[in-house]
A and B are shown apart, each in its own frame.
Chain A
């Protein structure tokens, strides 16, 4: 792997992150000044407000405030929640694994199912199977993921109560073993992951399909067929791996969409991840928390893009050869 290339990518990522910090800082200072919220309490007096301003460091010059903010962020001091008076990072820290679980599982399943569907559609291009699959993914793409989630709840949690309708574990329950608790989480994971999968499935399918179609018309495929290799082997051993590559780049572009989906789906299912944290922060007008979750989402997407770039680099034989 080329060190210069890696350094370039890291540099770009760092620059993007720096922009996020600047953006975050100015936006919240400009529109969400914490002391204006407090000024609305009828019992507050000007001295108390001044004191609070000093505590928040709002009496320093702007650049000083920004360097404070940047420094604090890098040491994970993301401010104090207006709701709980505790560090924002504490709750975010606990929420991240849950979002990763939801998003990771959803992406994995969407990749597998979407890729499979894409291969199917490409090899049966023009047939009713192809049309059907195309129609299905267009529909899931066009449908709001939380609407699908609500319907899933209505059908599979209320009408036919197989799955729980929210949260990550049965509230108040005591578990006899680690395994039992894991199973309970899995039980609660099914519906949210299904909604998440529907969200991303459409794009994965379309990309896989079109890249399969591209690959299947390439010369090396014709050559392989000419050597008498069975068709399904040509598809599975040669075409598919090559077609998977664009999927990686698309997965990278999708992270933003996935972040958005995490917010709506977690809100719907009360899944205790970053998304639910963001939603509660909106409802409570807890700006430090909102700022914190936005930062983490952005960092997450930036890091994911970086990883996807590296993964692409490893996978693509043509890039390797350079």
Chain B
């Protein structure tokens, strides 16, 4: 009798597992969309808040950029200024007054008209209080609104950022001005659905689960093909990528560099790789006696020959291959290639040339001492290289750099520290004056989509004590920087910027190593109409945070699924079956045991 019970139980078990497997594989492809055309985007981090006054993360920008617009949007092909809330603009003779003509008859998603009052309020209030928005209006003298369709901005001196660089979202004044400023910069969460002017507005936000966006009923352009966008949050990057391969989502805006190759090899998955406006650099402590009397560093690092030799001895190509799996882009100078309007590969580009490095050092009198390290006038070319523990790719680069510079007699001691610790070292102050304590470090910066001023400003004297972490000071560079901020004509501006880049390449306050990439992946069966934009041809498929145009180009592909999840998931069936089988087995045995002899127990 026992044998039958066992057989029966096993049969049930096998059937349950088989059923479970079958049901699971079915369920995976059927996750619900309810009949609408939904664009499902997956990510591992979701917005912490929808409030632009306090938000600081990329994911928040992604959502804002679809909901709200700028006075002048970024053109998806060139990234230059293009109509946004304003449909045209005029720059005065002295370049200190710009008149914006707003779009006629435009409305917010709640039906109220978009007026110049909204623009003025946003630029003034968000522009001075938003954590990430307060860097743009420094030169603004006044914002006037002669009528509801006109905005006039006056600046104290010509500032090209007013056209093409005002990255401040225009919010509906009638919604946001009702809230006291203290709350706006505190715990305020706007009501849903959000009131916006962009193609989609946030309709539902469940933190750590998803953000649901619906088309803006008052949207000026053609209705978008996707009737809903869902940003679905997964627990880890790994889970996001798995979800794409399982067909649960259609698009990933951020793929990990280590899995990028692998995910692209899968059938039906396409990947896109594009450089961004962010870079990773090796920074040097160039703080002068004047600015940082109490700084702590090895004075040899301030010898230009040493820095140039370092630049020649580092193989940026190879390091990129190894540390980033070749998924980042080798940088050429402080201006990333993303800034197409102003970019060119600098003449002094420091290709990998250890011979040249040795030559330079020999000619300058840096001799190899007994330890194999260059020495001159009592100074030894041995430096600290700080790198952040949270950035494994940076740590890898640091080690590779140390290996390479060793070949020419320059020694780097790689120190892995926490971000907090490195921050401490760089913002260290003594008696109110900057006193940074480091020789070199590896870190990164990100800029704005069109206007390069922020990234260029990092090397200005004004930023010492603020954003400057190389503490570089060069009056010529400063002068050129001020000049380029006043030039509205891209050609003119490019010339000046190129001069600045040349100076930076000569003095090397930063050795810019790589340009960070956008790594995207999407399901080509689920999405069609993908075009690389921002900028055209060398950009991304999604243009996150910068422009909503690419999303408007997307259309549902052949393979979107429509079912709603019902019934019992496969796994539970398997477990249920197994439990029943085990219980039956035990029951059978218990009944059988009644007739057997009791076991003797050893005393």
Contact = CB atoms under 8 A, between A and B. Distances in A.
Contacts of B343: none
A84 B239 contact: no
A173 B566 contact: no
Contacts of B187: 80, 85-87
B467 A270 contact: no
Interface in A84-129: 84-87, 123-126
Question: Which secondary structure dominates where chain A touches chain B?
Answer: loop
Interface in B331-386: none
A298 interface: no
A124 B467 CA distance: 72
Contacts of B233: 171
B248 A163 contact: no
Given A80-B187, A176-B564, A184 B569 contact: yes
Interface string B11-34: 000000100110011011001101
B20 A162 contact: yes
B261 to A, nearest CB: 19
Nearest to A39: B427
Given A43-B134, A172-B210, A161 B25 contact: yes
Most chain-A Cβ atoms within 10 A of its Cβ — which of B235, B564, B570? B235
Given A161-B24, A174-B34, A183-B568, A166 B602 contact: no
A320 interface: no
A42 interface: yes
Given A43-B134, A124-B599, A174-B34, A163 B571 contact: yes
A231 B209 CA distance: 55
Most chain-B Cβ atoms within 10 A of its Cβ — which of A84, A190, A272? A84
A189 to B, nearest CB: 9
A162 B566 contact: no
A210 interface: no
B230 interface: yes
A216 B235 CA distance: 49
Contact of B564 (A85, A158, A174): A174
Most chain-B Cβ atoms within 10 A of its Cβ — which of A85, A166, A230, A232? A85
Contact of A270 (B34, B234, B567, B593): B234
B48 interface: yes
Interface in A205-236: 216-217, 225, 230-232
B142 interface: no
A176 B427 CA distance: 55
Nearest to A95: B208
B236 A84 contact: no
Interface in A228-287: 230-232, 269-270, 272, 276, 285
A165 interface: yes
A171 B28 CA distance: 11
A164 interface: yes
B40 interface: yes
A164 B571 contact: yes
Given A43-B134, A126-B602, A163-B571, A173 B31 contact: yes
A230 B593 CA distance: 11
Nearest to A221: B601
A276 B424 CA distance: 29
A310 interface: no
A172 B572 contact: no
A173 B29 CA distance: 11
A230 B598 contact: yes
Contact of B601 (A43, A163, A164, A216): A216
Interface string A147-180: 0000000000010111111110011111111001
Given A162-B574, A174-B34, A187 B569 contact: yes
A43 B467 CA distance: 9
B466 interface: yes
Interface string B404-436: 000000000000000010011001000000000
A247 to B, nearest CB: 21
A43 B235 contact: no
Contact of A173 (B207, B423, B565, B594): B565
Nearest to A86: B187
Contact of B466 (A43, A162, A225, A230): A43
Contacts of A123: 599, 601
A269 B238 CA distance: 11
A40 interface: yes
B574 A85 contact: no
Interface residues of B, number: 58
A27 interface: no
Interface string B44-64: 000011000010000000000
Nearest to A170: B31
A83 B25 CA distance: 38
B598 A184 contact: no
Given A85-B187, A172-B249, A232-B598, A166 B234 contact: yes
Nearest to B42: A171
Contacts of A15: none
B54 A184 contact: no
Given A85-B49, A167-B234, A173 B208 contact: no
Contacts of B572: 183, 186-187, 190
Given A84-B49, A171-B210, A42 B466 contact: yes
Contacts of A42: 427, 466-467
B603 interface: yes
Contacts of B567: 180, 183
B186 A85 contact: yes
A264 to B, nearest CB: 14
A50 to B, nearest CB: 16
B243 interface: yes
Given A161-B25, A171-B209, A190 B575 contact: yes
Given A40-B423, A85-B49, A177-B566, A190 B236 contact: no
A160 B21 contact: yes
Contacts of A230: 594, 598
A83 B46 CA distance: 12
Most chain-A Cβ atoms within 10 A of its Cβ — which of B25, B32, B210, B598? B598
A85 B48 CA distance: 9
B232 interface: yes
B141 interface: no
B475 to A, nearest CB: 23
Interface in B547-603: 564-572, 574-575, 593-594, 598-599, 601-603
B304 interface: no
Nearest to B234: A171
Contacts of B208: 272
A126 B234 CA distance: 49
B239 A165 contact: yes
B526 to A, nearest CB: 13
A180 B233 CA distance: 21
A162 B239 contact: no
Given A171-B234, A187-B572, A84 B48 contact: yes
B242 interface: yes
Nearest to B40: A172
A83 B207 CA distance: 12
Nearest to A280: B208
Contact of B570 (A85, A162, A176, A276): A162
Contacts of A124: 599
A278 to B, nearest CB: 14
Interface in B197-242: 207-210, 230, 232-236, 239, 242
A171 B42 CA distance: 9
Contacts of B601: 123, 125, 216
10 contacts: A40-B420, A85-B49, A162-B24, A162-B571, A163-B24, A170-B248, A175-B564, A176-B564, A217-B603, A269-B235
Question: Top 5 closest A-B pairs, CB basis?
Answer: A270-B235, A231-B598, A187-B569, A172-B232, A174-B32
Given A162-B17, A171-B232, A190-B572, 14 more contacts: A40-B420, A40-B424, A161-B28, A165-B239, A167-B239, A170-B565, A171-B233, A171-B234, A171-B243, A171-B248, A172-B31, A174-B32, A176-B564, A183-B567
